[in-house]
Amino acid sequence: MNSFVVGSNRKIDPSRRAHLRRDGTPADNDRVEIGPTGLAFSEWQEAGLTPPDLPSLREYRLARLQEQIIAHDCAGLLLFDPLNIRYATDSTNMQLWIAHNAARACFVPPSGKVILFDFHSCAHLSAHLPLVGEVRSGASFFYFETGNRTDEHAAAFTEQILALMKKYGGRNNRLAVDKIENAGYAALLAKGVEILDGQDLSEHARSIKNENELNAIRCAIHACEQAVAEMRAAVRPGVSENDVWAALHAGSIRRGGEWIETRILSSGPRTNPWFQECGPRIMAAGDMLAFDTDLVSTYGYCCDISRSWIVGDVPPTDTQKTLYQIAYEHVMTNIGMLQPGMRFDEATKKAHRLPEAYRPLRYGVLAHGIGLCDEYPCIRYPEDVEKHGYDGTLEVGMTLCVEAYIGAEGGTEGVKLEEQVVITEKGAEILSRYPFEEAMLS
């Protein structure tokens, strides 16, 4: 039986563990974890989707990290990034707040259970997770929390990490760390710890999904796309961009989605150039509306798709159709050429080439990895390879988003399209299912 220790040896009663069935569905309404709702489960059943086996999913993800630790000959992996902590433990705690207040960490040993350092008085949030062997405190050594005592708290945390390294790694002084406050980094170095880039380990671990993890991703995408359909129903002349975006967020939360990384939705002239977030603009009939979900859905997995619509019951103009058709061709051609074993630079060379007029405002990547959120790898456009490209190979089990933004410099509109795929032995299989606009493709 696990012992959950916080602060001065305070323990959590094991009877307070959340009651979940093995497939992750709730056995009661008082569960601790924030997972999917009954609405999501009923929609997945109707769609013929299989929810993930959560105990197996957690074991798989921890094993992926521990394989990397062993391969890099480390005494352990120290994680502060809330997404990496989620991957290692499946625990979640105020994810957006923690993203800019480093109040949580976890130590992943080469074998065995994870030691979680949680925010104060939060041990109950992981009491249902059997792979969390112990819950401690002490990772909160950022200035808001510790002020002019930050170095003192960082030193105390470092002593805990040194003890864990000795316990699990003996004399091995190599520690992989993803992200850490300056005071913590300096304290580890001062104790002679050899620090490796933990992002290298965590990103490569997260990049390969097995079938069970793909079940979680398919469910997450479906929940998001149901919310996208509700957002579509809210689109009409006279409503604001914010009104439309609010429908997406509401639909996601109703199904157990967690948060949205951005607010990238724009309409009319705000669609060119890209990356404008939604605002109070009132939409008119015939406007182009384009968006990127960037939505962390059920089980913490991201559904990252883009679509572009015409506002109101108005046929698209010839210009709008041209933009849309080029974007569609770009995305679908690039999905079709992806193969396992393909080098990233090879994918760049074989990819659909944008017409010259649309290259200056091209999107940042041809494709990028996706899981809990954006992740390794990035595949660049030819214009960006020299400065930003890097080596790598597509592997079976990688999930990617294939993207296109089409808009000309000085243009009045733009189109954004994006699909989510998984690399299989036979090529790229499309995971997202939300329909494209027939009126724009005819």
Helices (H), 278-317: none
The pairing of beta strand 114-117 with beta strand 132-136: parallel
The residue type found at 328 is Y
Looking at the chain, the domain(s) classified CATH 3.40.350.10 span 5-206
Cα pseudo-dihedral 331, 311, 409, 436, rounded to 10: 10
Strand ranges for 97-235 from DSSP E? 105-108, 114-117, 132-136, 174-177, 194-197
On average, the pLDDT of the chain sits at 94
Above 80 in pLDDT, residue 66? yes
**2 pLDDT above the threshold of 50:** no
Q: If you average pLDDT over residues 379-398, what whole number do you get? A: 97
| Sequence letter at residue 86 | R
Question: Average pLDDT of 374-402?
Answer: 97
Render pLDDT for 280-339 as a digit per residue (tens, 0 to 9).
999 999 999 999 999 999 999 999 999 999 999 999 999 999 999 999 999 999 999 999
Encode pLDDT of 211-221 as tens digits: 999 999 999 99
Domain with CATH 3.90.230.10 in the chain: 211-441
Q: Which amino acid is at 33?
A: E
Tell me the pLDDT band of 26, cut-offs 50, 70 and 90.
low
CA nearest 436: which of 265, 275, 321? Answer: 321
The CATH class for the domain spanning 5-206 reads: alpha beta
- In this prediction, residue 6 carries a pLDDT of 35
**Predicted confidence (pLDDT) per residue in 397-436, tens digit:** 999 999 999 999 999 999 999 999 999 999 999 999 999 9
Q: How far apart are CA 267 and CA 311, in angstroms?
A: 9
Q: Over the stretch 182-202, which tens digit does the pLDDT of each residue have?
A: 999 999 999 999 999 999 999
- Could you tell me the end-to-end alpha-carbon distance of the chain, in angstroms, rounded to an integer? 62
In words, the CATH class of domain 211-441 is alpha beta
pLDDT at 29: 63
DSSP for 251-264, written as a single string: HHHHTT--EES---
Of the candidates 226, 110, 86, 204, the residue with the CA atom closest to the CA atom of residue 165: 110
Q: What angle do CA 140, 81, 15 make, to 5 degrees?
A: 70
